[in-house]
Amino acid sequence: MAKAVWNGVVLAKSEDYEIVEGNVYFPPDCVNREFFSESDHQTRRPWKGMASYLNAEVDGEHFKNAA
Is there a contact between 1 and 13 (Cβ–Cβ < 8 Å)?
yes
What secondary structure, in 3-state letters, does 7-67 show?
CCEEEEEECCCEEECCEEECCHHHECHHHEEEEEEEEEECCCEEEEEEEEEECCEEECCCC
Mean pLDDT score, 41-63: 92
User: What's the pLDDT score for residue 27?
Assistant: 96
Q: Where are the domains of the chain?
A: 2-63
Of 10, 66, 61, 9, nearest in space to 38 by CA: 66
Return phi, psi of residue 48, to 5°.
-140, 5
Q: Tell me the average pLDDT of the chain.
A: 94
pLDDT at 21: 82
The pLDDT of residue 20: 86
